[in-house]
Structure formats: structure tokens, C-alpha cells
Amino acid sequence: MNNISLIILASGFSRRFVSNKLLYEFRGRKLIEYAFDKAVFFSDVIVVTQYEEIKEMSEVLGYRVVMNDHPEYGQGHSIALGVEACESDACILMVADMPYLKLNTLKEMVSIQDGKHIVICEHNGILCNPMLLPKKYYEKAKRLCNDRGAKQIIGDDTYLTVFLSEEEFMDIDEKTEAI
């Protein structure tokens, strides 16, 4: 099964960051561009955002965009919107503020998936982003509407894991981290 979409979650409010962190310059590039770098491996890319500038950047690259008119409903709502637009056999849910995430990590997730189990990253025993979701979980994902993210979809099901390095695990939440 290689019919896998990448869903980039780019709807957050960046409350601790104060401004839209995804448009912030980080090491000479906008933070969102690091997420776009990972999209080269996927034939179908869906960007869920509330921001017009991110929508425009995504469309220039040929990505499908789902506008999130209710980002206050949380990350779960963004996931639901992205999965609703997805027609692939599986999707990878990826937050847009992890600039150190390696493309090889996503490739490893794809290589170990079996179409039955969720594949999720793990760092020091903590389950974390990104997550590969087989189609059989889409209905659960479409019902999310809170800020707890996709881990709640797993429930008691077994899952496969991919190790995330300390560096990859880092996200950018404050301007001091982005300097």
C-alpha cells in the first residue's frame, strides 16, 4: 500500500509564540517551509490551515488546502478536516512546527506500515507526532473535536512505532527557540 497522503496540520494559534510562528523566519526560512520539504515524498498533500498566506504558499506548490474556519476547536478538529478530505489508503498526520523532523523518519513510517496498524513516532517512551493512520481509523479521526490530537484514536489497539531522535522531537513554541 503506497497510496498515502501527507496531512500537514497548520492551524494553530501560536499563543506562546505571540505571532504566527509558521511564517516566522527560522534559520533563514519560514518555519512552514520545513514541513513542505517533507512533502516531496508524497503525491497527495493536504494542508489544513486558518491562514490565508499559508493557503497561498500551499497552492503555489500544488497542495490541496482545507481551510479551518474553527481553529478554536483544537487540533482534533484540524485532524478531522484533513482526514475528511483524504481519499488515500492511509495518511500521515504531521504538525507543521517540527523543523528537525527528517524525511527518512516519514519514509520509515511508510515502509513498516501494514494497512492494519497505526504507526506512531516515539521519543523516550512518549508517543508523539507524526502518526500514520490507516483508512480503517478515518471514521474515528473524523469525529475528533478537541485539543488532544490523534493519540486518542489508538485506544486499546496495538500500534507500530518509529524512534524519533531528541533533535527531531523538538518543536518550536516560542520565539527564543527560533533564534
Q: CATH no. for residue 110?
A: 3.90.550.10
Give the closest residue to 140 by CA, choosing from 75, 86, 80, 54. Answer: 80
Provide the domain limits for residue 10.
Answer: 4-178
**7-16, 44-53, 84-93, 114-123 — which is least confidently predicted?**
7-16
DSSP SS3 for 79 = helix
In this predicted structure, what is the pLDDT of residue 57? 97
- pLDDT tens digits, residue range 25-56? 888 999 999 999 999 999 999 999 999 999 99
CA pair distance 130, 92, nearest whole angstrom: 7
Q: Is 86 left (phi over 0), alpha (psi -120 to 50) or beta?
A: beta
pLDDT level of residue 120 (50, 70, 90 thresholds):
very high
User: How many domains, in total, are found in the chain?
Assistant: 1
- Tell me how crowded residue 174 is: count the other CB atoms within 10 A of its CB: 12
Average pLDDT over residues 112-132: 94
CB 130 within 8 A of CB 92: yes
